[in-house]
């Protein structure tokens, strides 16, 4: 049985990836951050039949000894552990560097000396491109980080590439565009809108003009496995997206239609990024992934949004619709 390590397993995408791998019959070791309460994040919502199949290890990615122990015996590492909230990176950039850059370095060093590792699959982000200089964005697009978060991911991406070129470490970098779906917190735009629509007579948003390529989480994790482990993708960086974009304002209208709500729309300045830090347009060119691996997204935006609305409506106690969550 194939054995894998998933870092960031307790997070939104990480928990979906763990569930996907268990369904495929893969042996999963899930790395989560240690909490004295035993808190397991989004892994706690997985069915008990799935959770009992997971080997859970608790620690901190900033601890090199923990990373070395975590990787032992694993054939694949899916590295998703990161600090990801862009607004909070303005407040605490040092922690983003320590987690996203130094933590990735610890995992790379552990992987470098592993006798069992077949592939190190690293998670990047479309935010490294910044506002599109041409559309759609392919992997040759200039890198232009516009937030401390994006800068930390650029550094981590570069380290992964350097370990492949310098030490022959078998790596693949997956660069998903804006992933959404069940279990995502209202730190992200889609849960923010939905949770407010379902509970209030008004919705507070920031800038309505930016456009994004929204990828449903089931398509994202399918891409992690199909693209990340494929023989044709060794040493490569590959975009995952839908090739379709929508503005935040248009997204809001679609969600109003799907929820059958007609709230008052309020603009909240604290929800806006600094002007020079706002990424105004992201749209994926995914030809590379599709040509090398035949991966393609399966969900339309409305299909993914409908599943997300259903999940949030059944889990409203997990959300803070009256607060702006960094």
Would you state the pLDDT for residue 325?
86
Among 259-263, 283-287, 322-326, the least confident range: 322-326
Model confidence at 122: pLDDT above 90: yes
Model confidence at 52: pLDDT above 90: yes
In the chain, the domains with their CATH numbers are 3-179+215-240 (3.40.50.720), 185-212+244-289+298-318 (3.90.25.10)
The residue-averaged pLDDT of 258-281 equals 95
Please give the structure tokens belonging to residue 157: 């991406």
Model confidence at 68: pLDDT above 90: yes
Cα separations in angstroms, 150 against 45, 160, 174, 183, 314: 29, 15, 15, 23, 33
Q: How confident is the model at residue 300 (pLDDT cuts 50, 70, 90)?
A: very high
Please state the pTM of the whole predicted model.
0.97
pLDDT tens track for 15-35: 999 999 999 999 999 999 999
In this structure, how many other beta carbons lie within 10 angstroms of the beta carbon of residue 57? 15
- Say if residue 323 is exposed, middle or buried (CB neighbours under 10 Å; 0-12, 13-18, 19+): exposed
Model confidence at 1: pLDDT above 90: no
DSSP-derived pairing of the beta strands 211-212 and 246-247 = antiparallel
Among 100-104, 124-128, 164-168, 271-275, the least confident range: 271-275
Model confidence at 55: pLDDT above 90: yes
């Amino acid at each position: 049985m194939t054995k894998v390590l998933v870092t960031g397993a307790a997070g939104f995408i990480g928990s979906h990836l763990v569930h996907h791998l268990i369904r495929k019959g893969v042996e999963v070791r899930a790395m989560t951050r240690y909490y004295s309460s035993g808190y397991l994040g989004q892994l706690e919502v997985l069915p008990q039949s799935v959770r009992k199949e997971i080997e859970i290890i608790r620690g901190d990615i900033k601890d090199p000894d923990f990373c070395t122990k975590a990787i032992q015996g694993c054939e694949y590492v899916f590295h998703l552990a990161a600090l990801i909230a862009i607004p909070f990176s303005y407040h605490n950039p040092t922690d983003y560097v320590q987690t996203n850059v130094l933590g990735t370095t610890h995992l790379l060093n552990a992987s470098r000396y592993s006798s069992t590792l077949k592939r190190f699959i690293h998670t990047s982000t479309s935010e490294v491109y910044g506002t599109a200089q041409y559309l759609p964005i392919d992997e040759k697009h200039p890198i232009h980080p516009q937030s401390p978060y994006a800068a930390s991911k650029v550094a981590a991406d570069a380290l992964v590439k350097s370990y492949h070129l310098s030490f022959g470490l078998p790596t693949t970098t997956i660069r998903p565009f804006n992933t959404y779906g069940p279990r995502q917190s209202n730190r992200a735009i889609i849960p923010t809108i939905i949770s407010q629509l379902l509970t209030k007579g008004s919705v507070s948003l920031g800038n309505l003009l930016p456009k994004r390529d929204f990828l449903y989480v089931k398509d994202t994790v399918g891409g992690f496995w199909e693209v990340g482990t494929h023989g044709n993708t060794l040493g490569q960086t590959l975009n995952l997206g839908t090739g379709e974009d929508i503005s935040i304002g248009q997204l809001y209208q679609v969600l109003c239609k799907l929820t059958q709500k007609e709230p008052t729309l309020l603009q909240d300045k604290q929800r806006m990024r600094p002007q020079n830090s706002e990424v105004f347009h992201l749209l994926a060119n995914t030809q590379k992934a599709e040509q090398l691996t035949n991966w393609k997204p399966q969900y339309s935006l409305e299909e993914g949004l409908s599943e997300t609305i259903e999940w949030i409506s059944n889990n409203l106690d997990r959300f803070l619709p009256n607060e702006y969550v960094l």
